[in-house]
Chains A and B, each alone.
Chain A
Amino acid sequence: MTTDANAISSSSASNPSGGRRADSIFRRFNVGDALLGLICRTSAVVIALMLASLVLVLLSSAMPAIREFGLGFLVSREWRVNELERPLRDAAGQIVMQDGEVVTETIKPAFGALPVIYGTAVSSALALLFAVPLSLGAALFLVRVAPTLRIAGPLSFLIEFLAAIPSLAYGIWGLFVLAPFLQTTVGPAFQNTLQNVPGLRWMFFETVTISGKLVERPIPMTGRDMLCGSLVLAIMILPIVTSVSRDVLKAVPRTQIEGTLALGATWWQSCIAMLRYGRAGLFGAVMLGLARAAGETMAITMVIGNNNQINPSPFAPAQTMASLLANEFAEASEGLHRSSLLYVALVLLAMSLVFNIVARRLVIGTTSPAGH
């Protein structure tokens, strides 16, 4: 050590040209530093600009629809792409005739996002309902049981591998495996056991208006419905919720777990204490799952049935914001239609942004060492 240091100082002292400059307290211009700084700054700015331009383009394209419908768009149930001609009816509901011909009225196209907002909210909520208990259980297993069995590594890999499977694969599996199974086995089983239970009739029957009359009819079991969509979503959000929950639970200090055990907590009670300690982070994990479920497009489009309606039954087809966009955007030629779809996209973007921000704050608050 000492000889090295001596060697360096003697060599710089014996170098009369560079020695003076190196000792100066003024900083010297360094091309490499400047260049790297410039590249980093540019990259950061470009990414921020991309997000900004994305929002701006969406906003400007959605402007005609925003002007036309305002915030009422969010609560309107109508989604009619084309003009509709229909017989004019008088106050009594009779078709108005004039000169022996039926008088028709023309209804303008109308767009409202409530059915897709409902579809997105319900399918995501159901997906969370299926996925969160499974994810928390798996995360607890990975943190508290698997290490002693030496299978935490391979199991974590398998769970995270689920996230690498393309969305389309889930969709195809849902369409060809899950949907027929629901249609032929699960749906009828529920129908046979529950349809005569008072208060559950809405699950299997729907009331529709056919030529002015209210008719109750059974919901056809297609297998491609809200239930199928939620199940596929649940499988797709399992990896993220599990791996984030696992990290949150891993960050629970050892002293917390030992503290509960030293007071005589059972294994189960100390797990509860762990979940409680990490509750903010776990909530964040759930929010990340929710954001993913709400934005998922390909798989859900294949299995949810794509019917723009609000039907409380899990066996009825539905539509989410993302599946609506996937279904209609390519064919949306008319200005207001296109603009309305972009309005839906804007709502989806805002929702995802809120979920992500909330989740990020909660997760970072609990897993970073500076947190507690």
Chain B
Amino acid sequence: MTATMTQLRPDIALRAPAPAARGASAVTYPIIDAIKRGETPEPRVHASVIDETPILHVRDFQLWYGPSKALHGISMPIAKDKVTALIGPSGCGKSTLLRSVNRLNDLIEGVHIAGAIELNGESVYAKGVDVIGLRRRLGMVFQKPNPFPMSIFENVVYSLRISGERNKSVLSAACEKALRQAALWDEVKDRLKSSAMGLSGGQQQRLCIARAIVSEPEVLLLDEPCSALDPIATLRIEELIHEISERYTVLIVTHNMQQAARVSDYTAFMYLGRLVEYGRTADLFQIPQLRETEDYVTGRFG
């Protein structure tokens, strides 16, 4: 298993934290300190990010939960057909940003926003946007597997059913395709009619991925998809993310830096609702431009 994983991204070898903290007391983080003072320093966005074709573009996006501000002027393009990881300590706003893309934050009382998120150049927060239609163009997988209490088959084709697809052969073809892409077909093909609640946690999460990709979304949003899984199931999901990234744009939130290093092409480091540094994953983990990023990805702070 470990061998497979290292093959995924052979270019990235995680640097172990230096055993002796070099002048531990003397280390200062001017950007982190500025953020803690409530400022929003200019993020360090690498040129490599700007060169890519964006499918999503976050423009000076701000979000408040009632009176408290959770996102401060986030600006970042998300590259098409690539895997982009959002990392940062708990409460840094990475899940909030992810859930802003498909406007799932709309459900929470007291949320209001400023700025824009564009999907293929169209603002998802513009007046008159069909939120239902928008969500059908974006797949999402949550932290905890959330299969619906129905059969495996009905779970996978749920999004097709609710958009009115009735044709049996269309549904079963789509179901098989999605389950194959989610690397679950061989395990469940003989029991498509049995309840999805009987699957293991890892299988349930792959089912949720199949359910999210069955309608071929433009972007797949993954909100810490492995945080409730054991290490082996986690590895399978990571391999799967690597495979489906050939067909889909993936935006993944993770609290696990090794995971970001293993599965993503680009990584954005966030802190307290601000973007700190954003660049190619290999660069961010090996030659970060900021001391803050370097010490975070090597586990010295955060």
Are A255's CB and B149's CB within 8 A? no
Central interface residue in A255, A261, A372, by most chain B CB within 10 Å: A261
Q: A148-B109, A255-B142 are in contact. Are A265 and B102 (CB under 8 A)?
A: no
B159 touches A263 (CB 8 A): yes
A237-287 with Cβ < 8 A to chain B: 253, 255-266, 269, 273, 276-277, 279
- Within the complex, the shortest CB–CB distance from A262 to chain B, in Å, comes to 4
Interface residues of B in 197-221 (CB under 8 A from A): 197, 208, 211-212, 215, 221
Interface residue from A262, A273, A276 paired with B135 (Cβ < 8 Å):
A262
Bound complex: CA A265 to CA B160 (Å): 10
**Secondary structure of the A side of the interface?**
helix
A256 to B107, CA, bound (A): 13
The reply to whether the CB of B132 lies closer than 8 angstroms to some CB of chain A is yes
Q: A261 and B146 in contact (CB under 8 A), knowing A266-B132, A266-B162, A269-B162?
A: no
Which of B146, B148, B150, B159 is the one whose CB lies under 8 Å from A264? B159
Min C-beta distance of A230 to chain B, whole Å: 32
Partner among B144, B148, B163 whose Cβ is within 8 Å of the Cβ of A273 = B148
State the CA gap A295–B138 with chains docked (Å).
52
**Quick check: is B271 within 8 A (CB to CB) of the other chain?**
no
Instruction: Among A261, A262, A273, A276, find the residue whose CB has the most chain B CB atoms closer than 10 A.
Output: A262
A147-B109, A269-B162 given; A264·B135 CB < 8 A: yes
Knowing A264-B133, A273-B148 are in contact, say whether A259-B163 is a contact too (CB < 8 A): no
Contacts of B221 in A (CB 8 A): 262
Q: Specify which chain A residues have a CB less than 8 angstroms from the CB of B139 in the assembled complex.
A: 262-263
Interface residues of A in 317-342 (CB under 8 A from B): none
| Of listed B104, B142, B212, residue having the most chain A CB within 10 A | B142
Contact between chains at B162 and A255 (CB < 8 Å): no
Which residues on the A side are within 8 Å of B135 (C-beta)? 261-264
Given A148-B109, A258-B142: A264 in contact with B162 (beta carbons within 8 A): yes
Query: Are B148 and A256 neighbours in the complex by a CB distance under 8 Å?
Result: yes
CB contacts (< 8 Å) of B211 on chain A: these are 263
Cross-chain contact A259 with B146 (CB below 8 angstroms): yes
The interface size of chain A toward B, counting residues with CB under 8 Å, comes to: 21
**Shortest CB distance B277–A (Å):** 29
Chain A residue numbers with a CB within 8 Å of B159 are: 263-264
Q: Are A276 and B162 touching (Cβ within 8 A)?
A: no
Task: Give every chain A residue within 8 A of B175 (Cβ-Cβ).
Answer: none
Collect the chain B residues with CB atoms within 8 Å of residue A266's CB.
132, 162
On whether the beta carbons of B148 and A276 are closer than 8 Å, the reply is yes
Contact B162 A263, beta carbon cutoff 8 Å = yes
Cα A263 to Cα B221 with chains together (Å): 11
Determine how close the nearest CB of chain B comes to the CB of A248; give it in whole angstroms.
13
Contact digits for B142-184, partner A, Cβ 8 Å, 1 yes 0 no = 1110101110000000110011000000000000000000000
Closest beta carbon of chain B to A362's beta carbon, Å: 14
Enumerate chain A residues within 8 angstroms of B102, measured Cβ to Cβ.
262
Q: How far is the CB of B262 from chain A (nearest CB, A)?
A: 25
Chain B residues, CB < 8 A from A273: 148
Which A residue sits closest to B211, measured CB to CB? A263
CB-defined contacts of B237 to chain A, threshold 8 Å = none
Q: How far is the CA of A312 from the CA of B149 in the complex (A)?
A: 39
Is B116 interfacial (CB-CB < 8 Å)? no
Task: Check A264 against B136 for contact (C-beta < 8 Å).
Answer: yes
Cβ of B12 to closest chain A Cβ, rounded Å: 30
Chain A: CB-nearest residue to B109: A148
Q: Which residue of A lies closest to B163 (CB)?
A: A264
Closest CB in chain A relative to B209 CB, distance in Å: 12
A257 partner residues in chain B, CB cutoff 8 A? 107
CA distance A259 to B207 in the complex (A): 12
Contact B107 A258 (CB under 8 A): yes
Bound state CA distance, A18 and B135, in angstroms? 70
| B140 on the A face (CB < 8 A) | yes
Determine the chain B residues whose CB is within 8 A of the CB of A372 once the complex forms. 197
Residues of A within 8 A of B138 (CB): 262
- Alpha-carbon separation in the docked complex, A253 to B228 (Å): 16
Residue of B nearest to A147 (CB): B109
Q: Return 19 A-B CB contacts under 8 Å, by A number.
A: A253-B146, A255-B146, A256-B146, A256-B148, A258-B142, A258-B146, A261-B107, A262-B140, A262-B221, A263-B139, A263-B140, A263-B212, A264-B133, A264-B135, A264-B162, A265-B132, A273-B148, A276-B148, A279-B149
Q: Which 7 A-B pairs have the closest CB atoms?
A: A264-B136, A262-B140, A255-B146, A263-B159, A259-B146, A264-B135, A269-B162
Residue numbers of A with Cβ under 8 A of B are 147-148, 253, 255-266, 269, 273, 276-277, 279, 372
- Contacts A147-B109, A256-B146 known; list 11 others, CB within 8 Å: A148-B109, A255-B142, A259-B208, A260-B158, A261-B107, A262-B102, A263-B135, A263-B211, A263-B212, A265-B162, A276-B150
